[in-house]
Amino acid sequence: AQSVTQPDIHITVSEGASLELRCNYSYGATPYLFWYVQSPGQGLQLLLKYFSGDTLVQGIKGFEAEFKRSQSSFNLRKPSVHWSDAAEYFCAVGGDSGGGADGLTFGKGTHLIIQP
């Protein structure tokens, strides 16, 4: 069965500092990997995704993530955070059972707090 682990429930970062959110996955085949951001009471916004190819993926809002197969990781990074980045971040994994992307398995999320 597939699973996603986000080991950090909360992370506090000073504005302007760099950020790395960890994500480890378990999946039996080549995974599709996603990072989403969710503001309180809102839906999900896709930050970036990895299907194949270059293992360093660029996303929106200055985020990037690197797929490391040997470590089963897909960590999210940003060189300099802004106060507006404070939100809940979810890593998700899925696959393709033949008809297209399957439903996703989400991690439990990491709550990002930005200190002034």
* Distances in whole angstroms, Cα of residue 53 to Cα of each of 21, 30, 31, 32, 49: 22, 12, 12, 11, 11
Asked if 109 touches other proteins (CB under 8 A), the answer is: yes
Question: What is the number of other CB atoms lying within 10 angstroms of the CB of residue 83?
Answer: 10
Alpha carbon separation from 33 to 12, 79, 112 (Å, rounded): 24, 21, 20
**Binding other proteins by CB under 8 A: which of 25, 32, 74, 89?**
32
> What residue spans of 42-113 are helical by DSSP H?
none
- Of the pair 46, 56, the CB lying nearest other proteins is at 46
- Cα 28 off chain centre by: 19
Should residue 42 be labelled a site residue for other proteins when binding is judged by CB under 8 A?
A: yes
What is the amino acid identity at position 4? V
Site string for other proteins, 57-76 (x = CB under 8 A): --------------------
Instruction: For residue 108, state whether it binds other proteins (rule: CB under 8 A).
Output: yes
Nearer of residues 19 and 89 to other proteins, judged by Cβ:
89
Residue 51, interface with other proteins (CB under 8 A)?
yes
By CB under 8 A, tell whether 28 contacts other proteins: no
Please report, as ranges, the residues that interact with other proteins according to CB under 8 A.
32, 34, 36, 41-44, 46, 51, 90, 92, 94, 96, 99-109
